[in-house]
Structure 1
Amino acid sequence: MKFAYRFSNLLGAVYRQGNLNFSKDGNAVISPVGNRISVFDLKNNTSETLPFSTTKNISCVGLSPDGSLAIVVDEDGAAVLVSLITRAILHHFHFHKPVSSIRFSPDGRKFIVTKENVALMYHAPGKKREFNAFVLDKSYYGPYDETTCIDWTDDSKCFVVGSKDMSTWVFGAERWANLIYYSLGGHKDIIVGCFFEKDSLDLYTVSQDGTLCVWESDTELDGLILKKSQDKPKIPRQGEEEEEEEGEERDKVEGEEGEVIRGKVETAKEREKKKNVRYKMMSKHFFNKEGDFNNLTAAAYHKPNHILVTGFASGIFHLHELPEFNLIHSLSISDQRIASVAINSSGDWIGFGCSRMGQLLVWEWQSESYVFKQQGHFNNMASLAYSPDGQYIVTGGDDSKVKVWNTNTGLCFVTFTEHTSSVTNVTFTSSGFVIVSASLDGTVRAFDLHRYRNFRTFTSPRPAQFSSLAVDVSGELVSAGAQDSFEIFLWSMQTGRLLEVLAGHEGPVSCLCFSPVQSVLASCSWDRTVRLWDMLDSWQTKETLPLTSDGLAVTYRADGQELAVATLNGEISFWNPHTATQNGSVAGRHDLQTGRKETDKITAKQSAKGKSFTSLCYSADGESVLAGGQSKFVCIYNIKEQMLMKKFEISCNLSFDAMEEFLDRRKMTEFGSLALVDEGAGDGDGVSISLPGVRRGDMSSRHFRPEIRVSSLRFSPTGRSWAATTTEGLLVYSLDGSLVFDPYDLDLDVTPASIRKQLRLQEWASAIVLAFRLNEKALKQEVLEKVPHEQIPVVCGSLPDIYVEKLLGFIATCLEKSGHLQFYMTWAQNLLMLHGQKLKNRSGAILPTLQALQKSIQRHFDDLSKLCDFNMYNIRYAVALSKQRGLKRAAEEETEDQEEEDEELSEEMSEASLEDAEMML
């Protein structure tokens, strides 16, 4: 249970490549991120990464019409059939060649896969269990170049395929007598999109040069004639030649089953009493009317609304109404190429993916507003930090941005762009509302999470590149280490002034860390020392700890009684900072298991000798340490036993370099590895091997494969999860208690029946103790929620001390998702009030539980405060409106009274005038 961490979510990346899809209800976007799939719920504003991955980056995703199944295909053509309901892989399949697009038929019975110049039709997997879920039905040959896009008619009778040879092919899904295939030309560039009109064979085709062709068919869908079965051979009559089917050949392709249909460019002859389907170009429209060269890169069409959305290489998109080609809307949403476009089922929301910037946008075109707007770090992530309550994660990257992520929703809610160079380190202050970041641009900046602004900028007297950062417990002292001058700079947060420059190291300062309990700064350097600086005693060196190799990372335990240091020789040493003595060490070089890069001339085992851990982090309880480096593995070590407890493989994506341990025999030639063979005809060895220490590879080379590595690791303060910044993104691993049976002090009498018997006898305290000994979540929740509200103080007072901490931790986890706020808050309040002193004595061990409780309460407080504020403004508006109406009504009543008085007065005057007239007469 203690190390049952499972992959939970992927943050820091929202889109990489491939096609976007909307869910059936149109409220969620399904986006491929590397070799994983992320689902972004637009209604609830949350994200979820599905718990499976492919062997390489995903190239296309096909979604079934009912939204329950998805076929995910990677760059090599390896496909997995996934259930989006259970999040499980149902079937593996390999198409053996890269797949350009995949599309289910509207009735869900078939799906088309296009690879190279062929379209393959498969029977869609059904609800029955089958040995082979993908059964090939027909193969369609027609285009001379790679196929690019597919679309189906609404009744699944025909489909259309676009190609790079500038032609579009219409094929019959069944054996229609008057439509076997049809080829359409008219374009001068690659076909980007082809779309059928609703309930019709009419077509729209869009090419890369910004041309739209409108095609009209002379036959309706009902006019397709099904070919009669040819099971019995037809005997020709005397004097009648045997008819040969024009334009169709039936043969078998080696290694494939199913019928093969080959299209020819020649037009099929029309037979007697039967007219073949024909197309006519009705109109031709151009997007680039000004003549500027702007490639059309993505297109989508919504049939019910007749809306065509086109995305361009410049980041502009257009909305047109077809077939009149009326421009509805045009907007620039990015400065990079739009790689994918999708429209939801209602036609209100349009999803855009920009692969170079890692952007995912959802635009509501009717109100002209963003529904969703996220962008990950489009370059490597360098560091991360948890907020003190574990609710937020801040990340810094090589794209000079600082982003803050919500751990509950998985979305970024603020981005700071003040830095002008790579951000090397980020951290939170103890208050949790200030973020401090260090950068290679020579500045350390402090950001306020209340007003979202950069309120402090710390600089050095002469320009320096800051590579390490630390803030003390009070949040008053900010320190940063320079790469080039070997100095440590110290600033005051209050005034922003430079207080001191600490000199003494003889090599670059690689890591800084403040003690959590006293004002002592630990600095780790390449000069094979760790120095402890006393902040209260004139910033003098308190102790110097000698290391066996260059120091790379240093971290304090949560109670400040121990120090862990990672060195270049792959060791992790543990020190007592008060006595300056070493308590133990772990040799972790063999646990890293680094992979072999394509251009390596030595084995992975030999290259592992030069690898080491570059990031360290203590667990929340301080009993274990988390370590990662330039490898795909993250290790957890037990400090007391000094042994490896568990190893996590953070990625299995072979699109990254240094993933495989051995040479790929498929890339071996008689001259050696294909990656090391020079393609040029020059003399000598012209292959550019990357220099030692280069992490990203040669950016100028044609083929660029990033190397897998872990740049930073952090445990959540609650102890329920840990996060790592990797080449893939920000990976979050959480404890999954539902899958682990972890009883405590179990014996034969502890059964669900005996626990429920205690409940019937109203022995609440003993029932809770028995439930926690069995340790099943559902049973614990059942027992806890059956305790009467007025009995909670009595039960809390009679609980044994050892179960108080367990109950408090369980309440913290229940409070995170439960709606019984007052009930669980009453439990927490009584436990803390009655056992406060005992808990205080064990503050180090109980701290993660209290922080988990604080995180849950804070999240509910934020949600409720927003709701209350919203309601308060609504009430104020309603009161002001009622007052306004009351005043208006009072004014109306006053005018009515005045009018009545005027009428009475006029009546009296008229009566008086009549009396006067009578008297005069």
Structure 2
Amino acid sequence: MKFSYRFSNLLGTVYRRGNLNFTHDGNSVISPVGNRVTVFDLKNNKSDTLPLATRYNIKCVGLSPDGRLAIIVDEGGSALLVSLACRSVLHHFHFKGSVHSVSFSPDGRRFVVTKGNLAQMYHAPGKKREFNAFVLDKTYFGPYDETTCIDWTDDSRCFVVGSKDMSTWVFGAERWDNLIYYALGGHKDAIVACFFESSSLDLYSLSQDGALCVWQCDTPPEGLRLKAPSGWKADLLQRGKEEEEEDGDRETTVWGKATPAEEEKKGKVKYSRLAKYFFNKEGDFNSLTAAAYHKKIRLLVTGFASGIFHLHELPEFNLIHSLSISDQSISSVAINSSGDWIAFGCSGLGQLLVWEWQSESYVLKQQGHFNSMVSLAYSPDGQYIVTGGDDGKVKVWNTLSGFCFVTFTEHSSGVTGVTFTATGYVIVTSSMDGTVRAFDLHRYRNFRTFTSPRPTQFSCVAVDSSGEIVSAGAQDSFEIFVWSMQTGRLLDVRVLSGHEGPVSGLCFNPMKSILASASWDKTVRLWDMFDSWRTKETLALTSDALAVSFRPDGAELAVATLNSQITFWDPENAVQTGSIEGRHDLKTGRKELDKVTAKHSAKGKAFTTLCYSADGQSILAGGMSKFVCIYHVREQILMKRFEISCNLSLDAMEEFLNRRKMTEFGNLALIDQDAGQEDGTAIPLPGVKKGDMSSRHFKPEIRVTSLRFSPTGRCWAATTTEGLLIYSLDTQMLFDPFELDTSITPGRVREALRQQEFTRAILMALRLNEDKLVQEALESVPWGEIEVVSSSLPELYVEKVLEFLASSFEVSHHVEFYLTWTQKLLMLHGQKLKSRAGQLLPVVQFLQKSIQQHLDNLSKLCDWNRYNIQYALAVSKQRGMKRSLELPGSEEEAEASEDDSLYLLGAGDGTDTKEKGCWGRAGHGGLFQ
């Protein structure tokens, strides 16, 4: 149970591709991120990734009207029916083809998917238990090219489908007599979106060339007539009618039957075009890529390939607002139920923005790394994670909310290493641009820039435990540079020379001033920072060193080498203490263009990142594979292996060659089928009429670039091709008892509480190890008896109570009560716990993180109250001085105005201020209201 980490959250990736959706209440945005789905809670400022994944990247998401169910469809046509309430998969389905869009009817009884050049309507899954969740009802034909968009009428009687063949098709959800289908033209490019008007069959259609057509229907929705049944249905209906006429119960009307005169009067549904508008009035070609329409307030939002969006009021087509929000094409647009917030997704840069158009302000503005993440580091209290990417950006993420709150863009090239200082308020980064920079998290600025005498590229960075010494390894000159944090200059001995290959990793001993450097020259060197900067020891390896890490107590050193081994060393005696062979644990996949099998390609793979756990008993390893391994250091065995991704849209995921892609002309993967066919891309080359002839299809390879355990030991993070993955122990309910026997039950715990035997009840609850029961036992103890009960707890159970208190601080409102428990336990058992300081360090850091969160929240609240009071006083002074100028003068007021040390506090209700006021001293004269 100690290694039962499960996927908790995905950071660093906010949007990939697909359509955005707002939840039913309009407070959250559902965004597809690769093959996962993230829910951004805008009210509570929190992001949460659902614990489910599809086989390929998500293509579209359909949300039910009540917001409880979602249909998630990937690029391969596989669909998941997901319950958003319990965050679980209810049903799997395959549509046998690529699906472009999916939409539920407003009544929630049906949903339509567009697949190829047809539309299919299914019965939506209900609340009762069903054998088959998806039942095909009808298939609608008509368009000659791929269908692109769907929209329903408010009464769920009809739906409209847009197509790439420049036509718009209106279909009836039932067998209507006067409307089977209706095709609308009038466009010269592919249809991007089409929308019905509220409570009407009138609709709008938008094409990619920026044209809007307004269509009017001569029939209201109530004018649709059901078609008379035929065949066996008609016979069955006629038989039932005859039986009812014989019984004489009631008169029955035949569906759709009318007199000939009524048939002539009531013809087929007809559409006419009222108007046609154009967005590109200046004549510049700017493809329309996404659109959304709010039927109640009649607000149309359109996004374009240049990153500009427009707000129009329909049907008059009045421009309300226009803004450029990105350099790339806007891929998806969504409006919440109230019409206040608009969400935009840009797949080119991975941006997600939520715009409040009435106040013209951002509600949410997030963007991941443009290229892959390279490195990460936890803050000492575990509240923040800093990441560096190949795009030269340094981002800081809040682990509680999942949002990035600051981005540093000072580096001009890829970031290769990031780390926190011991205080947690300074970030040090290294880059290929030849600089090492220090960033301040108080003022959010780059306050130090470290450079070398000769231009060089830095591949790694490390800071000692005091935060005074900064070191970075060079990739081209094979040297290690050491600076002072205070002065920003190189120390007396400028460089540490001795390596004969690029420096791949640096790590300081947490307890001593010893620096370990790993290099491709098959050595690890230990440098003494206080003893003339000499090489203390040189550890000879059998292969190139790729990563190095010290144990938290500094008594052991782990090195990952190119031959897939992890070797452990005693840094004091320079003796190897063990090794782990990880070649078979990597299990790398086969790339699309590989000529060898996955088994043979694994020979060139290795672990590229290492990290010790908080207690130092296990080590986390990852590299050029989709697996992350946890090894037990002492036993040197594999404890658990985590598969970080099952996304087949990434390269090196499959173990066997796909024979369907092999033709007589070679592998189909060599043919770039996506070039020049991207919708809505800009035109960088002259003469290109459609698409971008210089674009090429890119399939990223799955790999793990960096791993770090949280200082609390409750979770670990990995930077991968998909983003920043968080695996945690706090996302599940597990039965993990501790020294349990048959005499311990929840009933006996509550019986002990009724008898006020609090110590025995707490011990039994801790042995059952159920959070609800432990919470009940601790909160039953009176406040005055906390010290007595704390002193009677055995030392072995004190750690368990502290760990529970740390986790309870994050969710409970009884802050003072739990703080009292924490204080008494640490004061009474502090001396005994010092002997196990190394094992208790993660628990203490977990406590510190939880208490620090409350401190930050309270300090923000106090600052907010203080500023509000100051503002109220300032406004009161201003109004009082204004009132003193408007009051009629008198002798007494004249005397008061002459004395600058007196002021009058008025009643402010229009009565005599002298009667209800009071005199006081002030530094200036005047009246306060």
TM-score by length of 1: 0.90
Matching of residues 167-178 of structure 1 within 5 Å: 167-178=167-178
Q: Does 1:642 align with 2:642?
A: no
Q: 1:128 is paired with a residue of what secondary structure?
A: coil
Q: Deviations over 1:660-709 (max 9, x none)?
A: 11112322335664436899xxxxxxxxxxxxxxxxxxx98833210000
State the 1:413 CA deviation. Answer: 0.3
CA distance in structure 1 between the aligned counterparts of 2:833 and 2:891, rounded to whole angstroms: 73
Q: Does 1:375 align with 2:367?
A: yes
Q: Does 1:416 align with 2:408?
A: yes
Change in 2 beyond 3 A, CA 1:624/1:138? same
CA distance in structure 2 between the aligned counterparts of 1:624 and 1:210, rounded to whole angstroms: 59
Range with greater deviation from structure 2 (513-522 or 875-884): 875-884
Q: Deviations over 1:578-608 (max 9, x none)?
A: 0111111100110000000111111111111
CA distance in structure 2 between the aligned counterparts of 1:701 and 1:294, rounded to whole angstroms: 18
CA distance in structure 2 between the aligned counterparts of 1:5 and 1:524, rounded to whole angstroms: 30
Tell me what 1:706 maps to.
700
Tell me what 1:145 maps to.
145
Matching of residues 341-352 of structure 1 within 5 Å: 341-352=333-344
State the 1:892 CA deviation. Answer: 6.9
State the 1:24 CA deviation. Answer: 0.5
Q: 2:448 is paired with a residue of what secondary structure?
A: strand
State the 1:232 CA deviation. Answer: 5.0
Tell me what 2:490 maps to.
498
CA distance in structure 2 between the aligned counterparts of 1:89 and 1:555, rounded to whole angstroms: 40
1:279 alignment partner, one of 271, 275, 297: 271
Q: Which amino acid aligns with 2:647?
A: N
CA distance in structure 2 between the aligned counterparts of 1:382 and 1:776, rounded to whole angstroms: 39
State the 1:896 CA deviation. Answer: 6.7
CA distance in structure 2 between the aligned counterparts of 1:464 and 1:520, rounded to whole angstroms: 24
CA distance in structure 1 between the aligned counterparts of 2:834 and 2:742, rounded to whole angstroms: 34
CA distance in structure 2 between the aligned counterparts of 1:622 and 1:700, rounded to whole angstroms: 51
State the 1:192 CA deviation. Answer: 0.6
Change in 2 beyond 3 A, CA 1:550/1:701? farther
> Does the 8 A contact of 2:672 with 2:696 survive in 1?
no
1:771 alignment partner, one of 762, 765, 785: 765
Q: Does 1:446 align with 2:450?
A: no
1:469 alignment partner, one of 436, 441, 461: 461
Change in 2 beyond 3 A, CA 1:396/1:898? same
Change in 2 beyond 3 A, CA 1:495/1:673? same
Matching of residues 344-363 of structure 1 within 5 Å: 344-363=336-355
**Unpaired segments of 5 or more residues in structure 1?**
236-269, 680-698, 902-921
Tell me what 1:511 maps to.
505
Tell me what 1:32 maps to.
32
State the 1:272 CA deviation. Answer: 3.5
Q: 2:810 is paired with a residue of what secondary structure?
A: helix
Q: Which amino acid aligns with 2:268?
A: N
State the 1:843 CA deviation. Answer: 1.3
Change in 2 beyond 3 A, CA 1:714/1:64? same
> Does the 8 A contact of 1:171 with 1:180 survive in 2?
yes
- Equivalent pairs: percent with the same residue? 74
> Does the 8 A contact of 1:414 with 1:452 survive in 2?
yes
Tell me what 2:184 maps to.
184
CA distance in structure 2 between the aligned counterparts of 1:592 and 1:767, rounded to whole angstroms: 46
Q: Does 1:748 align with 2:742?
A: yes
1:657 alignment partner, one of 651, 655, 661: 651
Tell me what 1:669 maps to.
663
CA distance in structure 2 between the aligned counterparts of 1:884 and 1:468, rounded to whole angstroms: 57
Tell me what 1:127 maps to.
127
Q: 1:388 is paired with a residue of what secondary structure?
A: coil
Q: Which amino acid aligns with 1:353?
A: G
Q: Deviations over 1:170-203 (max 9, x none)?
A: 1111111111111111100011110111111111
Q: Which amino acid aligns with 1:105?
A: S
Tell me what 1:85 maps to.
85
CA distance in structure 2 between the aligned counterparts of 1:230 and 1:818, rounded to whole angstroms: 65
TM-score by length of 2: 0.89
CA distance in structure 1 between the aligned counterparts of 2:275 and 2:666, rounded to whole angstroms: 57
State the 1:805 CA deviation. Answer: 1.3
Q: Which amino acid aligns with 2:54?
A: T
Range with greater deviation from structure 2 (829-838 or 180-189): 829-838
Change in 2 beyond 3 A, CA 1:898/1:676? closer
Q: Deviations over 1:46-98 (max 9, x none)?
A: 00000000000000000000000000000011111000001110111111111
2:565 alignment partner, one of 550, 571, 574: 571
> Does the 8 A contact of 1:4 with 1:737 survive in 2?
no
Tell me what 1:435 maps to.
427
Q: Which amino acid aligns with 1:648?
A: F
Matching of residues 444-593 of structure 1 within 5 Å: 444-499=436-491, 500-593=494-587
Tell me what 2:163 maps to.
163
> Does the 8 A contact of 1:521 with 1:534 survive in 2?
yes
> Does the 8 A contact of 2:24 with 2:67 survive in 1?
yes
CA distance in structure 2 between the aligned counterparts of 1:835 and 1:103, rounded to whole angstroms: 61
Tell me what 1:316 maps to.
308
Q: 2:264 is paired with a residue of what secondary structure?
A: coil
CA distance in structure 1 between the aligned counterparts of 2:167 and 2:426, rounded to whole angstroms: 58
CA distance in structure 1 between the aligned counterparts of 2:424 and 2:650, rounded to whole angstroms: 35
Query: What's the RMSD between the two structures over aligned residues?
Result: 1.9
Range with greater deviation from structure 2 (209-218 or 387-396): 209-218
2:590 alignment partner, one of 588, 596, 616: 596
CA distance in structure 2 between the aligned counterparts of 1:135 and 1:754, rounded to whole angstroms: 51
CA distance in structure 2 between the aligned counterparts of 1:827 and 1:372, rounded to whole angstroms: 39
> Does the 8 A contact of 1:4 with 1:736 survive in 2?
no
1:620 alignment partner, one of 614, 618, 633: 614
Tell me what 2:107 maps to.
107
Q: Which amino acid aligns with 2:276?
A: K
CA distance in structure 1 between the aligned counterparts of 2:797 and 2:148, rounded to whole angstroms: 62
State the 1:831 CA deviation. Answer: 1.1
Q: Which amino acid aligns with 2:189?
A: D
Change in 2 beyond 3 A, CA 1:877/1:677? closer
Q: Does 1:858 align with 2:837?
A: no
Tell me what 1:211 maps to.
211
Tell me what 2:924 maps to.
none
Change in 2 beyond 3 A, CA 1:850/1:232? closer
Range with greater deviation from structure 2 (744-753 or 875-884): 875-884
